[in-house]
Structure 1
Amino acid sequence: MEEHVKKAVALRYDPEEDHAPKIMATGHGVVAEKILEKAEENEVPIHHNEKLVKELIQFKVGTEIPQELYEIVAQVLIFVEGLDTKKVR
């Protein structure tokens, strides 16, 4: 039986600087745990989507996400924006 290894990908998107969201960190196991830990420490929203992580984790850090993933990542950004709006209220 295959053990489930945690995976994580950190994205950054600044519409004033970036053409598309960029992959800022990727990791498996302990590295994934550290990425999630840092996100929590810095109050960065975490969105769980195993399929998306599986797609994104194969790209190099610093690269923009591929165009075929724009739609699903846009949905994540809308989710994050919604969380930010709730915090302001």
Structure 2
Amino acid sequence: MKQGEQPSSPAAVALKYDGKTAPTIAATGTHELAEEIIRIAREHNVPLYENPELASILARLELNEEIPETLYQIIAEILAFAFSLQGRTPEDAGKGKESP
């Protein structure tokens, strides 16, 4: 995809991370469903990360499917950043508050 181009079908993906296994797909959708996923995330103060190419890749996975190993590094960086925005660390996953 060239810089400045928009993806043909905007996607949103929600991940779940419990600190014990790889993050899994909690929700995925395109168009109106993507907008609803984003609305719910904002309503619950879940940090958002915008990357259309990554969302497109993750949107191909099934619900509750673990992310592939090839994405561990980028997802770990995103989760660490999301946790830091909440004053937490990834080690806090599954303890009390919902994970990002």
**TM-score interval (norm. to shorter):** 0.7 to 0.9
Q: Which of 19, 42, 60 is the matching residue for 2:21?
A: 19
CA RMSD between the two structures: 1.8
Instruction: Report deviation, 1:50.
Output: 1.3
Instruction: Could you tell me which runs of 5 or more consecutive residues in structure 2 were left unpaired when the two chains were aligned.
Output: 1-5, 89-100
Instruction: Report deviation, 1:14.
Output: 1.0
8 Å CA contact 1:6, 1:33 repeated in 2: no
Q: How big is each residue's C-alpha offset from its partner over 1:45-77, in whole Å with a ceiling of 9 and x where there is no partner?
A: 111111211111100011110111100100101
Q: TM-score, normalised by structure 2?
A: 0.76
Instruction: Could you tell me which runs of 5 or more consecutive residues in structure 1 were left unpaired when the two chains were aligned.
Output: none
Q: Which of 51, 54, 61 is the matching residue for 2:53?
A: 51
Q: TM-score, normalised by structure 1?
A: 0.84
**Count of residue correspondences:** 83
Instruction: Report deviation, 1:26.
Output: 0.5
Instruction: Report deviation, 1:4.
Output: 4.6
% same residue: 39
Q: 1:71 to 1:3 in 2, by over 3 A?
A: closer
4+ residue segments displaced more than 4 Å: none
Q: Using the alignment, how far apart are the partners of 2:66 and 2:7 within structure 1? A: 30
Q: Using the alignment, how far apart are the partners of 1:57 and 1:5 within structure 2? A: 11
Q: What is the aligned partner in structure 1 of residue 62 from structure 2? A: 60
| Correspondences of 1:61-76 after superposition (within 5 Å) | 61-76=63-78
